[in-house]
């Protein structure tokens, strides 16, 4: 099922363009390669796999803004707790691409497993950490029902080089416009940051968050400035 509705990432900025541009920014940023090199050593994966994971963080970080409850709010740039819905999408994406991970997903969401997916989930869930209150849980937020699937085009333009990246891309395209059940992963991540996290995981997540937030801000500033001028 497809929708003609255009979802926004912010005032005048189509969501699919924002996600594509953030992913492209991460791809071109020299720091991404340096972080990927470190992640490959920390989590014992190939550099190209770590690189794809970082770029995927850019593709999924705002997917939650497609949730139907944000209908008509894009021009105000207000999407409260959209990162919860992005995390719901990402958890389902990981499990769909790698079914064997399903039995361990709770451990991954608790940041207790040595998996590069812990970094991906943390960076998606907390890309607004510095500007929001994360002291409370959010059981009141439920399933992720997308209003549109135009952001699927952002995944179509992604060209991952690792087998992990290719499987995640394929799974993302299959998940587009599906209703996804509520998840406890986000609250597990909230609990995890309130306890002492293993330093190497904390540093890894912080590094990805740093480059993700840099690209996120740069793209939003550029695209929304153009939209204002055109308006």
Per-residue pLDDT tens for 46-55?
A: 999 999 999 9
Q: How far is CA 54 from CA 29, 120, 144, 204, 206, in A?
A: 11, 7, 23, 11, 12
21-59 as b/e, with b when 16 or more CB fall inside 10 Å?
bbbbbbbebeebeebbeebbebbebebbbbbbbbbbbbb
In this predicted structure, the answer to whether residue 136 has a pLDDT above a threshold of 60 is: no
Mean pLDDT of 194-209: 87
Instruction: Read off the tokens for 221.
Output: 């500033």
Q: How far is CA 214 from CA 60, 125, 169, 219, in A?
A: 15, 16, 23, 9
Is the separation of the CB atoms in 122 and 189 below 8 Å?
Answer: yes
Residue partners of 26: CB distance under 8 A and separation at least 6: 32, 54, 55, 57, 58, 211, 212, 215
In this predicted structure, the answer to whether residue 133 has a pLDDT above a threshold of 70 is: no
In this predicted structure, the answer to whether residue 131 has a pLDDT above a threshold of 80 is: no
Q: What is the DSSP letter of 32?
A: H
Q: CA nearest 112: which of 103, 104, 120?
A: 104
Q: CA nearest 35: which of 19, 17, 55?
A: 55
Mean pLDDT of 116-132: 84
Mean pLDDT of 134-153: 76
Residue 80's SS3 state is coil
Residue 2 is predicted with a pLDDT of 44
Residue 138 is predicted with a pLDDT of 60
Q: Where do the domains of the chain lie, and which CATH numbers do they carry?
A: 11-225 (1.10.3210)
Q: How many CA atoms lie within 13 A of 146 on its CB side?
A: 27
In this predicted structure, the answer to whether residue 193 has a pLDDT above a threshold of 70 is: yes
pLDDT digits (tens, 9 = 90+) for 45-93: 999 999 999 999 999 999 999 999 888 777 777 898 899 999 999 999 9
Is the separation of the CB atoms in 219 and 22 below 8 Å?
Answer: yes
In this predicted structure, the answer to whether residue 190 has a pLDDT above a threshold of 90 is: no
pTM equals 0.92
């Amino acid at each position: 099922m497809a929708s003609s509705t255009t979802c926004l990432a912010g005032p005048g900025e189509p969501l699919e363009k924002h996600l594509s541009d953030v992913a492209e920014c991460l791809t071109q940023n020299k720091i991404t390669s340096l972080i990927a090199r470190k992640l490959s050593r920390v989590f014992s994966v190939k550099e190209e796999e770590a690189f794809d994971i970082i770029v995927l963080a850019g593709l999924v970080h705002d997917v939650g803004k497609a949730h139907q409850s944000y209908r008509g709010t894009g021009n105000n740039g207000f999407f409260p707790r959209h990162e919860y819905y992005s995390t719901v999408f990402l958890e389902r994406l990981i499990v769909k691409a790698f079914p064997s991970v399903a039995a361990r997903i709770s451990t991954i969401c608790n940041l207790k497993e040595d998996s590069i997916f812990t970094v991906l989930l943390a960076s998606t869930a907390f890309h607004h950490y510095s500007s929001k209150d994360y002291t409370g849980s959010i059981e009141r937020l439920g399933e992720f029902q997308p209003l549109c699937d135009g952001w699927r085009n952002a995944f179509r333009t992604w060209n991952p080089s690792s087998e992990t990246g290719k499987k995640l891309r394929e799974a993302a395209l299959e998940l587009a416009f599906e209703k996804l059940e509520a998840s406890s992963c986000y609250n597990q991540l909230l609990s995890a940051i309130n306890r002492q996290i293993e330093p190497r995981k904390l540093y890894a997540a912080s590094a990805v968050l740093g480059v993700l937030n840099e690209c996120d801000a740069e793209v939003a500033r550029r695209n929304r400035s153009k939209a204002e001028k055109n308006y």
